[in-house]
Structure 1
Amino acid sequence: MSDLPVAIAGVDGCKGGWIAVRADPGQATTVQIYAAFAALVADLPSNAIVAVDMPIGLPDVTHKGARGPEGLARPLLKQRQSSVFSIPSRSAVHAETAPFTTLDEWYAAHRRASEVARQTSDPPRAISIQAFGIFAKIREIDALLIAEPQLRARICESHPEVAFCRLNGGEPMSLPKKIKGMVHQAGMAERKALLCRCGYDADFLDQSAPRGAAADDFLDAAVMMLVAGRIVRGEARPLPDPPLLDRHGIPITIWS
């Protein structure tokens, strides 16, 4: 049960859209799937704080540390640093918005977006397939924060492994969540144990993830909610500090 004065939510992208772990004042923690990020935000109180595992804020040009936060987060994560994707420029993220019906179209779009990324990065850098795969969700949040600037103080970027590291006294998780694309149960157990030490009930975490989300999506959303709580309490710290801003005034930083 949340003792905070405002609602908090931790969010991760998933196959079904977005998974949100939510706690309202005096209420038990819940988990729910939303097809659209805007619908998720609309379902929350107007003063709720959201921490989401999705890049927010897109610079016009990227450098060696990608947008900036990525380069600061990786050294903290040591053996877990591969979980931090390099996100390219705004023009690269928005270069290919048409739907894909075949794998050939997907890879062709990736190549075209990578060329835009190379032209807007110094040194020139292409886009990983993993990063390209989340561009649609990045654009979803980006469009919302451009259209509704008042949300920028309430919707905060975080990263699960950075959050776990922060909650673990600055030490990254010793085991991966996945190995070769498959959930690694020992790594999941390590993270569940830390979440329980930070206040979660084991029964809540042991439930099956809602349809449309994977087990690791559920845990990532759960740790995102803890970051949202840290933001409310004034305990969270941004990387970088102070946050950078993109051309729209959207903060570029990872909170944990």
Structure 2
Amino acid sequence: MTSAGRLAGVDGCPSGWIVVAIAAEGPLDPTVAIATSFKAVMDEDTAIIAVDMPIGLPDSIGPTGRGPEQRVRPLLGGRQSSVFAVPSRAAVFTEDYRAACDVAAATSTPPRMVAKQCYHLFPKMREIDALMTPAAESRIYEVHPELAFWRLNDDHALALPKKVKGRPDPAGLDERRAILVRHGFDAGFLARAPRGAGADDLLDAAANALIARRIASGLAEPFPREPQRDGRGLRMAIWA
């Protein structure tokens, strides 16, 4: 999928994980592939993996929520609804939706339910959580595509959504493609997603790859600036 010295931007997709790999410096030389598991992503010889999935799950959630989401939402303007509220680890590891809502309410102050969109991410969140260790943090970083595009757009929130009522929004996708092209991606590479992934998945993974390059070069920063750690010692921060 990738070779030594490459950087990977990763996003969940219907077939598993879409991986856009780029060079650490110079021309991007991008490639795209689908991995059926996050372990397969980790097994590739990539220097940095920037993945759109929460890493680090609190035992309980306070009034302001998990730190990273609290910090990045105000930056995203109309796109802040794309940053889902992450519940406690116990809720994430509860498979039934209604039961997960009960656990989330019991482990949050004030009691909060689980958004359906977040619940659908639980299997991938559990997959990463089972593999992550504090030692892996030198290589694997949590990112978020809308924050990535905010950063790539000179720290300005995007004007258009990428989806409207669950369907891709052509104007929003074009806005994101234009930003990626400005940062070195070829329009042809971005024109068609591989089978098993959507057009938005490809664009998100490409944006994540550019944040991986910022991380590798020391330019990225964590949100919040001083991340907290969960009960397993995992860092809780979104990077951009």
Which TM bucket (shorter chain)?
Answer: over 0.9
The one-letter code of the counterpart of 2:229 is: L
- Alpha-carbon shift at residue 24 of structure 1 (Å): 4.0
Where in structure 2 are there 5+ consecutive unaligned residues? none
Whole-angstrom CA distance in 2 between matches of 1:251 and 1:198? 29
How many residue pairs get matched? Answer: 235
The answer for the alignment partner of 2:30 in structure 1 is 29
The one-letter code of the counterpart of 2:49 is: V
3-state DSSP class of the match of 1:222?
helix
Q: Does 1:241 align with 2:219?
A: no
Whole-angstrom CA distance in 1 between matches of 2:138 and 2:153? 26
Whole-angstrom CA distance in 2 between matches of 1:130 and 1:14? 14
1:64 touches 1:71 (CA, 8 Å); kept in 2? no
3-state DSSP class of the match of 1:156?
strand
Indicate which of 141, 148, 159 corresponds to 1:174.
159
Q: After alignment, is 129-138 or 239-248 more displaced?
A: 239-248
Aligned sequence identity (%): 51
3-state DSSP class of the match of 2:97?
helix
Q: Does 1:40 align with 2:41?
A: yes
User: Residue by residue, what CA displacement relative to the aligned partner does 1:28-76 show, whole Å, maximum 9, x if unpaired?
Assistant: 210000000001110224xx10101111100101123321111111110
Q: After alignment, is 36-45 or 114-123 more displaced?
A: 36-45
3-state DSSP class of the match of 2:76?
helix
Q: Does 1:78 align with 2:77?
A: yes
Whole-angstrom CA distance in 2 between matches of 1:64 and 1:163? 26
The alignment's C-alpha RMSD in Å is: 1.4
- Alpha-carbon shift at residue 249 of structure 1 (Å): 1.1
Q: Does 1:65 align with 2:64?
A: yes
3-state DSSP class of the match of 1:213?
coil
3-state DSSP class of the match of 1:173?
coil
Whole-angstrom CA distance in 2 between matches of 1:223 and 1:185? 17
User: Residue by residue, what CA displacement relative to the aligned partner does 1:144-192 show, whole Å, maximum 9, x if unpaired?
Assistant: 014xx43222110000001111111121110010001110011000000
Indicate which of 200, 209, 214 corresponds to 1:225.
209
The one-letter code of the counterpart of 1:34 is: A
- Alpha-carbon shift at residue 200 of structure 1 (Å): 1.1
User: Residue by residue, what CA displacement relative to the aligned partner does 1:226-246 show, whole Å, maximum 9, x if unpaired?
Assistant: 000000111111101121111
1:65 touches 1:72 (CA, 8 Å); kept in 2? no
TM-score in terms of structure 2 length:
0.94
